[in-house]
Structure 1
Amino acid sequence: MGFRAWLSVVLVLFGIGLQIQAKRLPWFYREEQDRSGLSDWSAHSPLQEDHAEESVGDSSLPEPQSTVQEPVRKELKEPAQEPVPLQSKQTLQGPVKQTWRFPKMPEKPKEPEGSIVLREPVPANSVAVRCGEAVVKVEVNQDFFGTGKLIHPSDISLGDCAVTEVDPSDQVLVFEYGLHRCGSKLQVTEDKLVYSFTLIYAPKVLAGIPILRTKGATVDIQCHYRRNHNVSSAAVMPTWVPFAATKAAEEVLVFSLRLMTDDWEFERTSNTYYLGNLLHIEASVIQYNHVPLRVFAHSCVATAVPDWNASPRYSFIEDHGCLVDAKLTGSGSHFLPRVQDDRLRFELEAFRFAQAEGTSIYITCQLVATAAPIDSDHKACSFSDDQWISADGNDEVCRCCESSCGPTRMTRDVSADEQWVSEAVLGPMLIKDAY
């Protein structure tokens, strides 16, 4: 066999191998070749052309088949498994319009429209009197002030006479004594005999509890008899005198110490300040059935706990009304000019104790209400521009602030010149750093 014959055999075998290889390719790969034109390239390759020429003269060999093969499994016209769609057409929707707004800041509590006025206590109808021929009978409701708090029998007396009977079911205390006992006073007029008694309520401090919930009170009681009648033989109709009509000697005073807003219109709802802020403090007294009184702050002490004797402590009002904070520290603390006699306002620059834990301060003041004229014992003086100035316009009474105006007392007292003293506590105030 010549060289040309061997070359023809080799070419034929190579073509057959290409056909067998084409049949082994996946159907979808062959279809991809058909679409991309690779099958045409293989059909017109030089090797196949040579094979075609050699096979023309050889009738025993089968005709060459097209290199474009049908899929082995013609019935599988679609893939065996559908690809999972990423998103169904039914679920495709248009863009959703969303609205966005800036978040609203929380609303601050609104201040009340009018100034805060304490509800005035209403006198309770808690005392009844029956005047007999020779005795007087006084019945006192243990809810003496009408507040629901019962008084103790040992805290009340008729002159120097104690309670004679206690009625626990009706909560009534009974006094029954002769007309000439219990420190009674007899007054004789042209047509009457008048026996006067004094009912005294003086609450005592409980052991180990240094506080009081009520204030002492006195009630005047009188029994009237006509002189043109024989009181020893004729019965006297009982006369019940209500408590409100017989409390002529009772002095009801309500002292308060409050934090106010910067415009002094309302009571401040927050007790938090920063160092350097001004605390607007108002001292006031509410009085009932009394001549007008003027209120003063005789002394004020700041502490880190609600105990004015605790340490550390800072006394910023001394000597019966000298506000010394501005003189000692150079602050802007001062009394405001007085507008009403029953109110006293001052501004105190916020501070904090250096040696105390926490940021809270408490203020305890000795407040005094009196009808006495303004003098060195009753004043409100501020230090400004190297001089002392009075909130009431009389700067002469402030001269003693440079040295000493006398000792002060932090006790409740009623002195000869009719002044009423009370302690008022304010706090806690939280003082934060300014940065």
Structure 2
Amino acid sequence: MGLLQYVLVLVVLVVFDLKNAFGSLRSSQSPKSKKHQSYPASRVPVSSQVLGNTLQKASLSQSLDYRGFAQEPLGLQEKQVLQGPVKPLDWRFPTVPEVPSEMAVDFHLRQPVTPSSVAIQCGENRVHVEVQQDLFSNGELIQPSGLTLGGCPVVGLVPGSKVLFFDNELQDCNSVLMMTKDELVYTFALTYTPEAFAGTPITRAGGAVIGVQCHYQRFQNVSGNALKPTWVPYASTEAGEEVLLFSLKLMMDDWSFERPSNSYFLGDVINVEASVKVYNHVPLRVFVDSCVATQVPDVNALPRYLFIENHGCLVDAKVTASSSHFMPRSQEDKIRFQLEAFMFQGGSSPSIYMTCVLKATLASAPSDALHKSCSFANGWLAADGNHQVCGCCDSTCGPDGGTAASPFGGLQWEGKASLGPVVVQEHKKTLAGLQ
């Protein structure tokens, strides 16, 4: 029994020595391990009480060693200190500057002047009516095919003048006879229905119905009266915006301020300014690529009139013989054009909406076939003087039309802007006839 106890003690001492050896190896890698020293036990017979104390101390020493190793696995730790001053972040999200308040503008809408463009001569059995082709005194000549007297067409044109005439029997042309106590009155309806320009759905003249009367007193004194025709004008506003702020504005006659009223009469000129706002950006030049007019905000609605097309060709002047044109460029980020007022023939709404595609390029880039502002006046002319880029306006501009764009053509920004509604009203006029 004593021999067995002795062998067991030796086994325990061997195991204890192995653990101490591993503990010493770890302690040599950590400075803190020096504080905790373990002493190997002598290989001599000891009592059970001495063996228990020895095992307890060894367990405590081993626990301290593991704790120190866990706290500092890589030995001494050093703190890294930032060297030198650190520049604070000064970047901020870009903000759109506030739009300055509009200045008060002294504006008075010009009222149309009553023209004297109809004359009547009443004979004993015939009526002779003369109508000036400039019926509304606005410089626009009416088409003879659109003018009738009670359904009867124009007889002819007075030689050497721009005067149309009718010469018919009193009982013809759907005349209406009324009898009063002292007079016999023949009444005719002189009707003008404007026709659209060829190839377009628009017209620049208002319709009119003019009452023409011949009064015959019972003593054979003859007199004639005519009613004054009237028509109604029209109006517009809005601004467009994009990533870069593209916009369209109505301007005063001298372009000094934005127009405070959006009402126009037929025959007036609409001043439109297209611009691009540049915030923290290189200087840009803006172009009007295309513009379409419709009666509703939907750009694809019918009827529609494309008055700027083919990458900046203002075709209205060529199609309708109007004076519409681009103004010479005064600022790179603005382009201005004048458009003669028009209305849609037979339209159900008096409103017109204009939607334009605007493009911006680097101000240093020259104009080209895809970026231009061309007007028609006995030929195509460019607003910036580079007239050769307008040579494609009668065909197709750009690579598809065989006209190469400049090397800068690919660097551009694009957006849409709109004006609307433009309300078209016909100012009713009456024409005083002869007595």
TM-score by length of 1: 0.42
Greater gyration radius: 1
Highest relative contact order (Cα 8 Å, sep 6+), 1 or 2? 2
